[in-house]
Structure 1
Amino acid sequence: MPHQMSKDTIPVRKGEELNLLALEQFLQENIENLSSGPLEILQFSAGHSNLTYQIKKGNWEAVLRRPPLGPVAPKAHDMEREFKILSALHPIFPVAPKPYLFSDNETIVGSRFFLMERKNGIVIDTSFPDGIAITDDLCRHLSEVMVEQLVELHAIDYRETSLAEISKPDGFMERQVQGWIGRYERAKTDEIECLEHLKKWLVEHTPKKHEFTIIHYDYKFNNAMFNENLTKMVGLFDWEMTTVGDPLTDLGVAMGYWNQSDDSELLINGLGKAPVTAVHDGFLTRNEFIELYAKKSGRDVTNFNFYLTFAYFKLAVIGQQIYYRYKKGQTTDIRFANFNYFVKNLIQHAANVADERF
């Protein structure tokens, strides 16, 4: 009997199948104490980037990650780098999944890939699972756990880990601003009126001095997994962007994803259905989240509007890269057909945030 799908997995999408025979042979050669039984593969439904699969053979299970199909940007979707990050972090920050092995043999699944532990729990995105009593206290508690885990990650001394070897902290913010502007230009399709003003503002307002910590750089609710009674975080996923840099950039990216009920409809629904933070009372507002982070970390958030502006611009660039791939026929996923409207809205929103003063 095939195993049941959990709430976070779906049958493998057409065109994204893996070679079962090649993968099974690889597992038999490389995994000790592999269970017998047929190899079963499901796909994780969340995410617009790397392809992530649940693989199961008898009682043994793991998660396989590989880059998206089609051409990918240089240095993007680096599976070996993500494997090294998890190897460094899992022992000291156990919500990061334990990595099992990395393979650069592209004949097995069509690209480089790695295997990591399958964590079990609840991922909250646009709705809560059935049977959960949704209260203001619960929503506030989940918000506070998100703040606390980010503070905890930023408290790790990166110099005590191997991340120091794969990161270049000096000049981080200048490199980020110039790098993401460059990525946008390479994937540009439509003219957007306020773009030049926004790029100029980001360059002129880039902080020259800041702290360096380990940053996740894709920190959001649907990358977190909670235990069954939603009291604590048991998993944090998608570490491919992780580096050593300005911790406020990490907070900014988190807030770029953190919608609240009074946001515009395009902002709330830009990536599909509205996230729970914009639907249910009790979740911290962005300002409350930022203030709680400042209190728990002791960091100064006076100039935070730069980081939020940059976060919305960065999200726009990611959307633009996806839309560019769709427009060029490199992906046919219909979810991406209207991403140009989402990108335009984010650019406009970033420009508006830039002109505000907190």
Structure 2
Amino acid sequence: MLAAVAMDDDRDALAAWLPAQGLAMVPGSGLVPLSGGIANRNDRIELTTGPAVLRRPPPGVLATGASDMAREWRVVSALAPHFPLVPRGLAFCPDADVLGTPFLVIEHRPGIAVGAALPRGADIAALVGATLGQMVALHALAPEAVGLGNLGRPEGFYARQLVGWAQRAATVWPDGLPGAAAALIGALENAPAPLDAAPVLLHMDLKPDNLLVDPVTMAPLAMIDWDMATRGPRGFDLAILLSYWIERGDPVAVHALQAVPSLTPGAPGRTAIAAQYAAMGGIDPGPLAWPVALARLRLAVAWMQLYRKWQRGEMASDRYAGFDALAQAILRQALDQFSKGRI
């Protein structure tokens, strides 16, 4: 009942705010939660000009730099005219007094977000090809040509990412880092220099559920979730995808991640995916053991951030209850694979 009242209040507040942006909700329509995603909230809304998506951070305390709606607005506004898969931004509200957080309204696109389960009859090879193809296309854009030449700070990218995620790890484990986390951070101390002559645009979470696809053909229809986008080495976008890509031979404890359909029969392994990216783009992304280990650290900390929000009562679903154990399993896998020079 309280959730329904809150949704009604949000609908009324949004309906009152939109006319100043030249937009209006269809009378009698409301907010319809969209499936997919485990952090940011996405609701379909009906505007008089057509369907749209209200996008905002999760409730409660946010980690530093998380769910940056201002960054997302800047990126989609710049990219949409140049990269057809990016939904158009329709309105941005930096004022948290309207709905409790900053938010944006973007164009609604058709398609499904594929998580752990591949749709019946769908081809995993087609989905992998679509994901990697769009990653290659994004990395081929010149940031300066699309108005994002000063997005982020690519200098010293890997070293700064390690420092940032080590600090976040200390925040989510305030009583002391788990042994695997401390050992992994120590093992990653010497950050490599990227091979790229110039930084590329990075999505920073480009996995299948952030690429809306046709449910039958797996053809890409939209790329969403741009709140972490930046510039940096192309290998890190690939490493992030690989950090989610659990293989059947991986420790059973990490099979619970269930973020991508990598356990589908016939799915390629991580090494094959890395090779396919290099072949499609015609560019070597460089050694990946270090970036993948960092991406796994990032993943473990992000899952712990969500677990802490669940502990504080900010996330209602019990799906987050096992994120503590899963985060530590990911750390152990990261340390084991990195010590062997593997991805």
Structure-2-length-normalised TM-score = 0.90
Q: Could you say which residue in structure 2 is the equivalent of 1:109?
A: 99
1:27 matched to 2:15? The reply is no
Question: How has the CA–CA distance of structure 1 residues 297 and 199 changed in structure 2, closer, same or farther, with 3 Å as cutoff?
Answer: same
Mapped to 2, the partners of 1:70 and 1:25 lie a distance apart of 24
> Which amino acid in 2 is paired with 1:62?
A
Mapped to 2, the partners of 1:166 and 1:24 lie a distance apart of 32
Mapped to 2, the partners of 1:114 and 1:303 lie a distance apart of 37
Q: Secondary structure at the match of 2:33?
A: strand
1:202 matched to 2:188? The reply is yes
Question: How has the CA–CA distance of structure 1 residues 333 and 239 changed in structure 2, closer, same or farther, with 3 Å as cutoff?
Answer: same
Identity %: 25
Name which of 152, 156, 169 aligns with 2:141.
156
Q: Could you say which residue in structure 2 is the equivalent of 1:145?
A: 130
Question: How has the CA–CA distance of structure 1 residues 16 and 237 changed in structure 2, closer, same or farther, with 3 Å as cutoff?
Answer: farther
Q: Secondary structure at the match of 1:114?
A: strand
Name which of 193, 196, 215 aligns with 2:179.
193
Give the alignment of 1:160-199 within 5 angstroms.
Answer: 160-188=145-173, 191-199=177-185
Structure-1-length-normalised TM-score = 0.87
Give the alignment of 1:1-358 within 5 angstroms.
Answer: 17=7, 19-32=10-23, 34=24, 36-57=26-47, 60-129=50-119, 132-134=120-122, 138-188=123-173, 191-204=177-190, 206-211=191-196, 212-271=199-258, 275-281=260-266, 283-301=267-285, 303-358=287-342
Mapped to 2, the partners of 1:141 and 1:336 lie a distance apart of 30
2:234 and 2:285 in contact (8 A); partners too: no
Mapped to 1, the partners of 2:302 and 2:127 lie a distance apart of 27
Displacement of 1:295 in angstroms is 1.7
RMSD of the TM alignment (CA)?
2.3
2:152 and 2:230 in contact (8 A); partners too: yes
> Which amino acid in 2 is paired with 1:320?
M
Mapped to 2, the partners of 1:36 and 1:347 lie a distance apart of 47
Figure out how many residues of one structure are paired with residues of the other and give that number. 338
Displacement of 1:347 in angstroms is 0.8
> Which amino acid in 1 is paired with 2:146?
T
> Which amino acid in 2 is paired with 1:309?
A
Question: How has the CA–CA distance of structure 1 residues 259 and 155 changed in structure 2, closer, same or farther, with 3 Å as cutoff?
Answer: same
Question: How has the CA–CA distance of structure 1 residues 183 and 35 changed in structure 2, closer, same or farther, with 3 Å as cutoff?
Answer: closer
Q: Structure 1: which 5+ runs fail to align?
A: 1-10
Q: Structure 2: which 5+ runs fail to align?
A: none
Q: Secondary structure at the match of 2:30?
A: strand
Displacement of 1:128 in angstroms is 3.8
> Which amino acid in 2 is paired with 1:313?
L
Displacement of 1:342 in angstroms is 0.6
Displacement of 1:279 in angstroms is 2.3
Question: How has the CA–CA distance of structure 1 residues 332 and 303 changed in structure 2, closer, same or farther, with 3 Å as cutoff?
Answer: same
